[in-house]
Amino acid sequence: MTPDPVAFERYRRSPNHKTTLPRLLLGTAIVILFWAATTVAVLFAAAYVFFTWQAAAPPSGMQGFLASPMGILTALASFTGIWIGLWIAMRWVHGEPLSALFGVGGRVSRSGFLKGLVAVLITSLVSEILLYMLQPEIARGTISLSSWLLFLVPTVALTLLQTSSEEMLFRGYLLRGLANRFKSPVVWALLPGLLFTSLHWSPSSTVAINACVLASIAAFALLLTLVVHATGNLGAAFGAHLGNNLTGFLLISHQESYNSFALFNARPLEGPGWTTSDAVLIAFIGIACSLLTIALLLHPRSPLRVAAELPDRTSAA
């Protein structure tokens, strides 16, 4: 399971001379600024519409709005700010097209995307079976099947917007830019991975549950980094991240604040009653399933093995 380094070497060397560390920091600041501004604007506008439709403000207030279907879709739409910020940073700070982040060929590998999506859907099923064995508390969600089907397309589209924006920032812009300046993966792989992982800290969860979730997220970040390293393209990372989030949003939710579209609700991780041993087992399941996904995508004999974007294959596979 040794990836060919040629594709990634071409990807890391693809930035122009304007990709300096100060410019990378400036570009990151621009992305954060537009992400924050878009989030505030979109949430304010959607909340205004939401509360205007209500005869009176619901007792749960803003928290109730954020947990509602409209609130969840709005939160996903706010990730548009990352795409806008990245376009501005690439165009005006680095003098490159945004598509340069996709891969050396400037296109997302379609086969890589599909393989990443299928691999994570398979391992997510394995994960849910193991979690059910640990805590067999699954209830039917509040959403009807007709409403679920009605919201299916916009939820998938906005989830793709969210997951792809995160991959563009953490496995594209930051990883590519840092790899161009530093040879050590301790810098270009570890730093974006730690930043990505830290954003998933939940103040409503216990320290033990937060630790287990962050360990699972770190393993998933490693998976996403490895497939980019193996292919020199973001396609497989796009598909893997989408499959992971769609499972939680649409099928079985483990978060009470994001279960409006899920057909089934498991015991929420932010809820009480979880023990330290439960947290350890949850972390073990998450890490093991990420390792299984790595095997599915990188093992030479796997039918889902992703292909590297080599010099004679600059177009999407």
In order along its 317 residues, the chain shows pLDDT tens digits of: 445 578 899 999 999 999 999 999 999 999 999 999 999 999 888 888 877 776 545 556 677 777 778 888 999 999 999 999 999 999 999 999 999 999 988 999 999 999 999 999 999 999 999 998 888 888 998 899 999 999 999 999 999 999 999 999 999 999 999 999 999 999 999 999 999 999 988 777 788 888 999 999 999 999 999 999 999 999 999 999 999 999 999 999 988 878 889 999 998 887 777 888 888 999 999 999 999 999 999 999 999 999 886 655 444 44
CA angle 86, 79, 173 (to 5 degrees): 30
Q: Print the domain residue range for 13.
A: 6-298
In a domain, 39, yes or no: yes
pTM: 0.91
Number of domains in the chain: 1
Q: List all residues 6 or more positions away from 265 whose beta carbon is below 8 Å from its beta carbon.
A: 138, 139, 140, 141, 252, 253, 256, 259
In a domain, 265, yes or no: yes
In a domain, 111, yes or no: yes
Q: What is the pLDDT of residue 3?
A: 54
Q: What is the pLDDT of residue 61?
A: 67
In a domain, 1, yes or no: no
In a domain, 164, yes or no: yes
Give the dihedral sign, CA 9/15/17/21: negative
Q: What is the pLDDT of residue 317?
A: 42
In a domain, 275, yes or no: yes
In a domain, 71, yes or no: yes
- Of 227, 225, 218, 105, which is closest to residue 174 (Cα–Cα)? 225
